[in-house]
Structure 1
Amino acid sequence: MNKTVVKTMEMLKLFIDRERLTLQEMVELLQMPKTSVYRMAQSLVKLGFLQKTDDYYQLGLAFLSFGMLVAERLDLRKIALPVMERLKEDTKEAVNLVIRDGNEAIYIEKVDTSEPVRVYTKVGRRAPLYAGACPRVLLTFMDRDEQQRYIDNVKMVKIAKNTIVRRDTLRAIIEQDRKRQYTVSYSELEDYSAAVAVPIFNHEGNVVAGLSIAGPEHRFSPEAVQRMVPMLQQAAWQISEQLGFPRKG
């Protein structure tokens, strides 16, 4: 393993049992040169993983953000899975759950259909936010300024036969989908596959995930999609409510 990373972890672990430490105390505990310990500590302060008050170092607020994200994502999977299983039974199609990770969507849970013809998606799969219904639902309901920056700067690459590669087309589709509150895709991530997706909200009203039904194109006619959307929205509301989002109406 990388020695610098290992030493950094050793420094951070000192604070598991100690609320705060001076530079000299860290030097004695780590058995490292004072200059090395100082450089590491200052780097961690700049990154927000440590904070310094007077002569003492303690854990920084960056850990609070990471901890909240990990807890939220673990809770999300636990809450979503039984709802996803019921949705699969109702629709007979695969159900996927994605979250945003930087400029990508990552699939964190799935329930496969029992149909012989299906679309396979692995947990851990990544996709750009502009491609496919489930990743794009995260982009569609993103903060407007952040959304604009993403669209202006992302390199749009053709992945399958219908992948959107024009920024003006992407903007138009996002506006349409934001109004109707769901996204649909045909052959954007894989040829002959289709998906319809809706957002999942947390207690602050922010979109934290996308929920989708996916399968072969021939089973996703406009009529079929219209039948699926209410079931998908109901499932997403059930998950959102358990995350603390107040239901309207």
Structure 2
Amino acid sequence: MNKTVLKSMEIIRLFFDEDKLTLLQIMKKTELPKTSAYRMAESLLELGFLEKDKDGTYRLGLIFLALGNLVAERLDIRSIALPYMQELRKETGEAVNLVIRDGNDAVYIEKVDTQERVRVYTQIGRRAPLYGGACPRILLSFTEREERERLIDSFQIVPYAQGTPKDKDELRRLIKETREAGWSISHSELEDHSSAIAAPIFNHKGDAVAGISLVGPEVRFRDEAHVRNMIDKLMNAARHISTELGAEKR
């Protein structure tokens, strides 16, 4: 590999641990001669990778902020999540859904169907209210408080099925339980006799950008030991996806 490029990267990496460095500090840490260290630092400065303060100390340039935002925006959550969704289906036998928020709704953007003969069918592109079902509600639960309350105030709660929250007080109670547990479960909220368990997926900013859920007939989601096992596997998958999106490990 090109030695100049490697040494330039070595200089940039110094700033992963240091806010500012003088030329002398860069020389000591890289063991570069003064002329080489100066030439490389000034080249990085000219390209925008470094900036220089009035006292001559160097720091990372704002170009990294722009590049970081581009990387974050271009990460395809569907492609990142899909292998974990497939593994979840293999481990639990249940269908796996991935949802994101779009306004007042949750939108299903990816799914992995179960191999079981009795199943709950979900179509990609389907919309659901944020107040109904474990996966839509996980997005609502981990929205910032002010935005969450604004959304709740705007809802006209429609009884989609037998278990749909009856009113906003019940919804707030479910949200509180979800935030405390870190996951959500629902029975017959969007469709009668269907159940779901959901967990949030976070990005590098700590925002809940998606929800991942296990979905199936209610009869398979009543055994306490089986549900606990599914929750553990689901939470583990959600943590791994979040980490790949840049979230801090939880």
**TM-score, length basis structure 2:** 0.70
1:109 counterpart SS class:
strand
Residue 225 (1) aligns with residue 227 (2): yes
Residues 47-82 of structure 1: CA distance to partner in whole angstroms, max 9, x if unpaired? Answer: xxxxxxxxxxxxxxxxx9xx979945x610010001
Q: Supply the AA of the counterpart residue of 1:232.
A: L
Residue 197 (1) aligns with residue 203 (2): no
Residues 100-151 of structure 1: CA distance to partner in whole angstroms, max 9, x if unpaired? Answer: 0000000000000000000000000000000000000000101001111111
Equivalent position of 2:170 in the other structure: 169
Measured in 1, the distance between the counterparts of 2:146 and 2:80 equals 30
Measured in 2, the distance between the counterparts of 1:164 and 1:69 equals 39
Q: Supply the AA of the counterpart residue of 1:141.
A: F
Measured in 2, the distance between the counterparts of 1:96 and 1:147 equals 23
Identity over the aligned pairs, expressed in percent?
53
2:161 counterpart SS class:
coil
Measured in 1, the distance between the counterparts of 2:97 and 2:208 equals 16
Measured in 1, the distance between the counterparts of 2:184 and 2:71 equals 25
Measured in 2, the distance between the counterparts of 1:130 and 1:240 equals 23
Note the 1:1-249 alignment, pairs <5 A: 71-72=73-74, 75-221=76-222, 222-248=224-250
Instruction: Assess if the C-alpha contact under 8 Å between 2:106 and 2:129 holds in 1.
Output: yes
Gaps of 5+ in 1: 1-63
1:69 to 1:170, Cα distance in 2 relative to 1, 3 A: farther
2:76 counterpart SS class:
helix
Structure 1 stretches (4+) deviating beyond 4 angstroms?
Answer: 67-72
Larger mean CA deviation between 158-167 and 109-118 belongs to: 158-167
1:69 to 1:157, Cα distance in 2 relative to 1, 3 A: farther
Q: Supply the AA of the counterpart residue of 2:245.
A: L
Measured in 2, the distance between the counterparts of 1:124 and 1:71 equals 21
Gaps of 5+ in 2: 1-65
Report the aligned-residue RMSD: 1.8
Residues 11-58 of structure 1: CA distance to partner in whole angstroms, max 9, x if unpaired? Answer: xxxxxxxxxxxxxxxxxxxxxxxxxxxxxxxxxxxxxxxxxxxxxxxx
Instruction: Assess if the C-alpha contact under 8 Å between 2:100 and 2:107 holds in 1.
Output: yes
1:190 counterpart SS class:
coil
Measured in 1, the distance between the counterparts of 2:106 and 2:72 equals 16
Measured in 2, the distance between the counterparts of 1:79 and 1:173 equals 29
Count of equivalent residues: 182
